[in-house]
Amino acid sequence: MSRKQTTQHPRCRLAFTLIELLVVVAIIILLISILLPSLKRAKEQSRTVVCRANIRQVAMAFLLYGQDYGAIPGTYWQGEIDTDWSGRNNRKYLAHPDRYHHPIETSVLWRYMNHEDRILACPTAHREANTFYDYTVPIRIHGARIDLPWKMLYPPDPRRPRENRQFFRGIILLLEEDRIFYNELYDDGSWAWFDQFSHRHFGECNIGYLDGSVDTFQAPQGINPDVEERADLKARNVKIEINGKVYPIHDASRDRFGWINRVH
């Protein structure tokens, strides 16, 4: 009788072991933890670029208006000319706010902005806290000619406002205002008194200048960003130098439209 020859085959593995699965999951989690900050940073960088482009478009509207009329509009109601750039305090808006999707529709800049209010919104801020504006205009540059050579300066340490002042590259036209101080309370498109710069883009904000250029700026700030501190750079700390003399930009009560062109 012949003997049956049998061959033994190794048992096939049809699944991972629990340990192998845990190792794979751990590797995936590690890769995500490494890549996620980079992805977030790349996303914020793209938002910063969009924000800067928005400021450039709004600044261009100011420049085009300035070329047509000899001076830029400003903040608040300025007599019969009614040129609050933001529209918030123009008589047309105040009389019938319900007729407009956004106050900028009553601004003299509206037609220069291609009827697009979305360019007033920084994609990082989402324009939720302040409703209307992420960008704002220093209150006393209303009526400025677009070719003015003056510069603005600020103290690197606001606790010592007269020491070691540094210059911005030119006259600030537009800037990103801090959400808490005080754009939540006063969403009027103006920057004055205790208002502050935003720090929303990696600790910096975008600034548009009167000559149409755009740059980033990291404003001095105290330890706690949610608390107003003496070390925070405020609008009242920013000055403008005209022919060797220094003037505040935070208070519009003393000077009217176009004062900046007549100072000698």
Residue 2 pLDDT greater than 80, yes or no: no
Could you give the C-alpha distances from 52 to 60, 124, 156, 207, in angstroms and in order? 12, 11, 24, 8
Contact 75, 188 (CB under 8 A): yes
- Whole-angstrom distance, CA of residue 178 vs CA of residue 6: 82
Predicted confidence at residue 115, as pLDDT, reads 87
pLDDT attached to residue 16: 65
Instruction: Provide the pairing of β-strand 190-191 with 135-138.
Output: parallel
Res 52: pLDDT: 93
The burial of 55, by beta-carbon neighbours within 10 Å (0-12 exposed, 13-18 middle, 19 or more buried), is given as: buried
Domain ranges of the chain: 21-262
Whole-structure pTM value: 0.82
Q: What is the pLDDT of residue 129?
A: 40
Q: Judge whether residue 3 has pLDDT over 60.
A: no
pLDDT band at 232 (very low <50, low <70, confident <90, very high): very high
| C-alpha span between 193 and 18 (Å, rounded) | 64
Cβ–Cβ < 8 Å for 192, 251: yes
Q: How many degrees, rounded to 5, is the angle at CA 240 between CA 125 and CA 193?
A: 50
Q: Which residue has the tokens 């406002």?
A: 161
Distance of CA 228 to the CA centre of its chain: 19
**Sorting pLDDT into bands at 50, 70 and 90, what band is 97?**
very high
Sequence length of the chain is: 264
The two three-digit tokens of residue 122, written as one number? 């920084």
Q: Give residue-wise pLDDT tens across range 157-207.
A: 999 988 888 999 999 999 999 988 888 788 888 999 999 999 999 999 999
100-158: per-residue pLDDT in tens?
A: 989 999 999 999 998 888 888 888 886 554 568 889 999 989 999 999 999 999 999 99
CA atoms of 136 and 181, how far apart (whole Å): 13
- Percent of the residues in the chain that have a pLDDT greater than 90, as a whole number: 48
Q: Please check the confidence at residue 209 and state whether its pLDDT lies above 90.
A: yes
Round to whole Å and give the CA distance between 2 and 110.
102
The Cα angle at residue 260 between residues 68 and 94, in degrees rounded to 5: 65
- pLDDT tens digit sequence for 12-63: 555 667 777 777 788 888 777 776 777 777 888 888 999 999 999 999 999 9
| Strand-pair partners of 190 | 137
Residue 117: its pLDDT value, please? Answer: 83
The pLDDT assigned to 11 comes to 55
Average pLDDT over residues 71-86: 82
